Amino acid sequence: MMKLSFFQVAVLVTFLISLGGCAKYPTIQKTSQTISPFDDSMFDSQTTIIDDSIDEEDTYRVFRQAATGYISVETTRQNALKAASDFCDSYGKKAVLRSETKSVPPHILGNFPRVELIFACVSTRQTMEETYNIDKYEQLEKLKNLLDKKILTQQEFEAEKAKILSR
């Protein structure tokens, strides 16, 4: 059996630690062909549905995990968003989120920040039209609430409503 010097052992240990500390980024895949890494996790997570009108058949999954607990969940989320955006950009489309799942703190003892995004790639034109329509209806809803609270008169409500609908 070969004896290793202290220096050789130190180099080998440093290499193995650095290799184990690298964050692993799996490829982006169709959600219908993969399962969520959160499904078999022993740590808690929180899922937020962003747009459930997006058909799950047309969605993709991107998962990112920080290599240590010193990276924030938000930084990990931004990394996943960039990956989703770059993926859709390569098809000349825009990424629209369906849902996101995040790990729940404390991020210690192997519970490193993790984020999974479920997204669809849609045409830029479709995204802008949907955003405009959602914004328009939200404005109308707020306007109606002001009318119901008698902050606006019926005439003021009708005038503001006409402005929103004419855009």
Q: What is the pLDDT along the chain (167 residues), one digit of tens a residue?
A: 567 677 776 666 665 555 444 445 568 999 999 899 898 888 889 999 988 888 888 899 999 999 888 889 999 999 999 999 999 999 999 999 999 999 998 888 888 999 999 999 988 765 555 666 667 788 888 889 888 988 889 999 999 888 888 76
**pLDDT value at position 19?**
46
Let me know how long the chain is. Answer: 167
**pLDDT value at position 133?**
66
- As a whole number of angstroms, the distance between CA 32 and CA 146 comes to 44
**pLDDT value at position 132?**
60
pTM beyond 0.75: no
What order do you get walking across the sheet with 45-49 strand by strand? 29-30, 59-65, 114-122, 94-103, 45-49
pLDDT digits (tens, 9 = 90+) for 5-35: 777 766 666 655 554 444 455 689 999 998 9
